[in-house]
């Protein structure tokens, strides 16, 4: 145990360690007694009637962790290394869930909680989505408390930590495991919109508003950990996760990462921290070859043709220096990567001790814990297609991952310890890092939340007001040929935006539609068109289907083979019963869901211009491009206002005709009322682009995946561009 005492003490850089003499914290218990000692109260976590060191909140966290580790069985310590989805049952109950089995049998204390918060609960006769039943804020809080009560009754009384991806953003295309959107929670613009507002206001006030609201709402629900935020740089325009980033500029993203740590954790994690962050995807998930994502076998390669690896590390370093508690490596495989004289092995980052221990811990000085990305064991063990599940578990843990996401079989770890393939000391080390966070957050004193207060805190009026201001600040005016601001009382034709909000802004409004019977935009002072783009039609993709991944008409230009050829189910079918790209999130025998995590069909990833997207199978522009052109012809291009919601740096190509509009705006999840505030002049636009917009599709395809922007002659609008009036 001497080594563990040293290891846990070293975590002081990532977690604030309370000292003797601190004031009495609130004690919350449902399954254990409260101990009264020296006029102070403590939770009797193990129920033995004595105040043991790990129950004594006056002691430093490192001492409490060491004491508890000595008392825990190997089963309890191994269970700490697991985290998997545990959604609330209908109406926020534990009925029909795995809660009891995961806690009592798998000894788990960490869960991903994905239920959407709704104003009205889903009825119990309906079918839950992959994210579980929709529940109210009160029901979510009640579920969190019920699970905490189950955990409190276990031998050591270790409290649960619930985590999820970022929630408080307006999401136009929710995806399981990526971003489900805010539901009834306060919704800010997307992360790109936060960056646009930061650049425009030249301050971190938009981030501070986001963290203030997120801190209050998550804590009220019992969510004390976040799989976020993404510190990745949007240097590869085709990558379908660009919309979750804060843009292409390393310095801007680093500033925002620091502000997020300070706003949500308050620096190193301590009992006052609202949400402990797990930033991702180390060492930067932006440079995806061909813009393809490593959730899929065909997107597993990360490339650095311009040698800009250090720029992708910088945001993580800033977050670490600010006190970041946890980091998540990505699935990707670095190709031909050399950094500071060291060449990196071409295996998934999560399986690379060179990356996790050498680069992250030894070079960058990170002392928190490492949380693997979800599904690295069964589905996305890139570089280890020929390894068995037990071998992958051993590789991941021995490479430096302290907790395996999407894995919930404690027996697998115990068997590996018994076989000598994982040292018990390594399990103890990982468990100590994880316990440190639970102690530092104050969960051992009170893991419970006020169920009645949750509904009042979520989407409170002051929260909505803060978000509304950031929505306005996030809107970027790209071009304006003296069309904006529109005069009060102007007669406008509105397509794909809320006519009621336009009327509230002072306009006379005709609501247009995209169907065959729509009214004409002629004889209006202006037309306002909101344009959204999403990927669709990929749910039937299968790696081995001759119409999809095995279609000889669609070959990967890098390999010359069909796109499904690199899926582990085809590389070593005897070891990989299910295909990763088929979207079988429940493993063999579960329904196949296709390209579940988003993105276009791989052979259409290059189709980033409006003209090519309009012709592609897996891209959807709404309103459709022909309808947009019709409206422009009816009202006149110079009297057309087009607001494009950017999830990627789409190419506004000349052939599309969109450049001819009298005004172009960029939004990043902004709501309609914020847009009309800008169009009416009630709010002068301040937002600035968080990434450059390319002039032509060739610039996108030839872009160096690790470098921001394009050559001057290939740039339509540069980074940080934005007009006002």
Residues carrying an active site annotation: 373
Query: Which residue's entry shows tokens 């209908």?
Result: 90
- The answer to whether the beta carbons of residues 377 and 350 sit under 8 Å apart is no
- The values of phi and psi at residue 667, to 5°, are -120, 160
Q: For residues 7 and 433, give the distance between their C-alpha atoms in angstroms, rounded to a whole number.
A: 8
Instruction: Name the token pair of 561.
Output: 């083979």
Q: For residues 241 and 190, give the distance between their C-alpha atoms in angstroms, rounded to a whole number.
A: 12
Instruction: Give the rounded distance of the alpha carbon of 613 from its chain centre.
Output: 25
In 3D space, the residue among 397, 472, 460 whose CA is nearest the CA of residue 431 turns out to be: 397
Q: For residues 658 and 644, give the distance between their C-alpha atoms in angstroms, rounded to a whole number.
A: 10
Instruction: Name the token pair of 90.
Output: 């209908």
Q: For residues 137 and 218, give the distance between their C-alpha atoms in angstroms, rounded to a whole number.
A: 10
- The values of phi and psi at residue 438, to 5°, are -65, -35
Q: For residues 375 and 342, give the distance between their C-alpha atoms in angstroms, rounded to a whole number.
A: 28
In 3D space, the residue among 570, 594, 590 whose CA is nearest the CA of residue 581 turns out to be: 594
C-alpha dihedral sign at 410, 411, 414, 420: negative
- The answer to whether the beta carbons of residues 713 and 695 sit under 8 Å apart is yes
342-343 and 338-339 strand pairing: antiparallel
Instruction: Name the token pair of 498.
Output: 């809320």
What angle (nearest 5°) sits at the alpha carbon of residue 720, between those of residues 714 and 725? 110
Q: For residues 52 and 394, give the distance between their C-alpha atoms in angstroms, rounded to a whole number.
A: 33
Measuring CA to CA, how many Å separate 699 from each of 33, 533, 535, 602?
66, 20, 21, 19
DSSP helix/strand/coil, 409: coil
In 3D space, the residue among 238, 239, 330, 241 whose CA is nearest the CA of residue 279 turns out to be: 330
Q: For residues 583 and 590, give the distance between their C-alpha atoms in angstroms, rounded to a whole number.
A: 9
- What 3 state SS string does 181-228 have? CCCCCCCECCHHHHHHHHHHHCCCHHHHHHHHHHHHHHHHHCEEEEEC
> DSSP of 598-667, one letter per residue?
----GGGTT--BHHHHHH-SSEEEES-HHHHHHHHHHH-GGGEEEEEE-SS--B--GGGSGGGSSEEEEE
- What is the phi-psi region of residue 506: left when phi exceeds 0, alpha when psi lies from -120 to 50, beta otherwise? left
DSSP helix/strand/coil, 64: helix
Q: For residues 239 and 395, give the distance between their C-alpha atoms in angstroms, rounded to a whole number.
A: 28
Strand partners, 169: 188
What angle (nearest 5°) sits at the alpha carbon of residue 362, between those of residues 357 and 363? 115
- The answer to whether the beta carbons of residues 223 and 664 sit under 8 Å apart is no
693-694 and 715-717 strand pairing: antiparallel
In 3D space, the residue among 110, 116, 144, 109 whose CA is nearest the CA of residue 132 turns out to be: 116
- The values of phi and psi at residue 706, to 5°, are -100, 0
Instruction: Name the token pair of 422.
Output: 């994982």
């Amino acid at each position: 145990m001497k080594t563990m005492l040293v290891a846990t003490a070293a975590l002081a850089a990532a977690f604030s360690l309370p000292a003797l003499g601190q004031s009495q914290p609130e004690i919350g218990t449902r399954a254990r007694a409260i101990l009264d000692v020296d006029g102070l109260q403590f939770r009797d976590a193990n129920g033995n009637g004595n105040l043991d060191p790990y129950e004594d909140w006056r002691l430093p966290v490192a001492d409490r962790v060491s004491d508890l580790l000595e008392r825990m069985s190997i089963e309890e310590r191994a269970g700490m290394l697991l985290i998997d989805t545990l959604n609330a049952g209908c109406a926020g109950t534990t009925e029909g869930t795995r809660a009891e089995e995961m806690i009592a049998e798998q000894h788990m204390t960490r869960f991903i909680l994905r239920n959407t918060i709704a104003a009205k609960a889903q009825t119990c006769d309906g079918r839950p989505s992959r994210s579980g039943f929709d529940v109210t804020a009160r029901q979510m809080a009640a579920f969190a408390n019920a699970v905490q009560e189950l955990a409190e009754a276990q031998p050591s009384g270790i409290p649960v930590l619930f985590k999820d991806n970022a929630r408080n953003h307006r999401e136009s295309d929710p995806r399981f495991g990526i971003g489900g959107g805010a539901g009834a929670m306060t919704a800010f613009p997307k992360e790109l919109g936060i960056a646009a507002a930061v650049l425009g206001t030249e301050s971190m006030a938009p981030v501070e508003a986001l963290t203030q609201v997120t801190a209050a709402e998550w804590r009220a629900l019992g969510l004390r950990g976040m799989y976020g935020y993404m510190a990745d740089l949007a240097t590869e325009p085709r990558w379908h996760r660009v919309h979750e980033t804060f843009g292409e500029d390393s310095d801007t993203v680093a500033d925002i990462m620091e502000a997020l740590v300070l706003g949500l954790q308050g620096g190193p994690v301590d009992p006052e921290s609202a949400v402990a962050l797990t930033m991702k995807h180390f060492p930067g998930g932006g440079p995806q070859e061909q813009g393809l994502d490593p959730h899929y076998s065909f997107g597993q390669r990360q490339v650095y043709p311009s040698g800009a690896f250090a720029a992708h590390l910088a945001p993580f370093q800033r977050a670490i220096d600010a006190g970041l508690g946890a980091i998540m490596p990505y699935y990707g495989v670095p190709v031909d990567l050399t950094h500071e004289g060291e060449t990196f092995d071409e295996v998934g980052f999560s399986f690379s001790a060179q990356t996790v221990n050498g680069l992250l811990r030894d070079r960058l000085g990170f002392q928190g814990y490492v949380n693997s990305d979800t599904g690295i064991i069964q589905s996305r063990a890139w570089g280890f297609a020929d390894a068995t599940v037990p071998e992958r578990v051993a590789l991941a843990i021995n490479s430096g991952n302290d907790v395996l996401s999407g894995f919930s079989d404690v027996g697998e770890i115990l068997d590996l310890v018994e076989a000598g393939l994982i040292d018990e000391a390594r399990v103890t080390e990982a468990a100590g890092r994880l316990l440190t966070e639970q102690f530092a957050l104050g969960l051992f004193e009170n893991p419970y939340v006020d169920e009645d207060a949750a509904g009042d805190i979520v989407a409170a009026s002051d929260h909505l007001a803060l978000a509304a201001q950031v929505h306005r600040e996030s809107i970027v005016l790209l071009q304006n040929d003296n069309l904006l601001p529109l005069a009060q009382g102007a007669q406008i034709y509105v397509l794909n935006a809320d006519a009621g909000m336009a009327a509230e802004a002072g306009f006379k409004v005709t609501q247009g539609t995209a169907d065959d019977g729509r009214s004409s935009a002629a004889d209006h002072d202006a037309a306002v068109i909101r344009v959204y783009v999403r990927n669709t039609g990929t749910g039937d993709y299968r790696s081995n289907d001759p119409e999809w991944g095995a279609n000889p008409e669609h070959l990967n230009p890098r390999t010359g083979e069909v796109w499904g050829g690199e899926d582990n189910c085809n590389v070593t079918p005897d070891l990989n019963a299910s295909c990763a790209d088929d979207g079988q999130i429940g493993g063999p025998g579960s329904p196949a869901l296709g390209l579940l995590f988003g993105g276009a069909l791989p052979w259409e990833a290059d189709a980033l211009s409006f003209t090519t997207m309009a012709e592609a199978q897996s891209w959807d522009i709404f309103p459709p491009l022909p309808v947009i052109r019709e409206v422009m012809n009816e009202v006149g291009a110079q009297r057309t206002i087009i607001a494009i919601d950017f999830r990627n740096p789409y190419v506004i190509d000349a052939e599309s005709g969109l450049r001819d509009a009298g005004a172009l705006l960029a939004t990043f999840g902004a709501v309609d009322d914020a847009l009309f505030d800008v169009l009416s002049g009630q709010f002068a636009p301040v937002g600035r682009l968080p990434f450059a917009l390319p002039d032509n599709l060739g610039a996108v395809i030839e872009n160096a995946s690790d470098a921001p922007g394009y050559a001057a002659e290939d740039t339509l609008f540069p980074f940080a561009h934005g007009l006002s009036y």
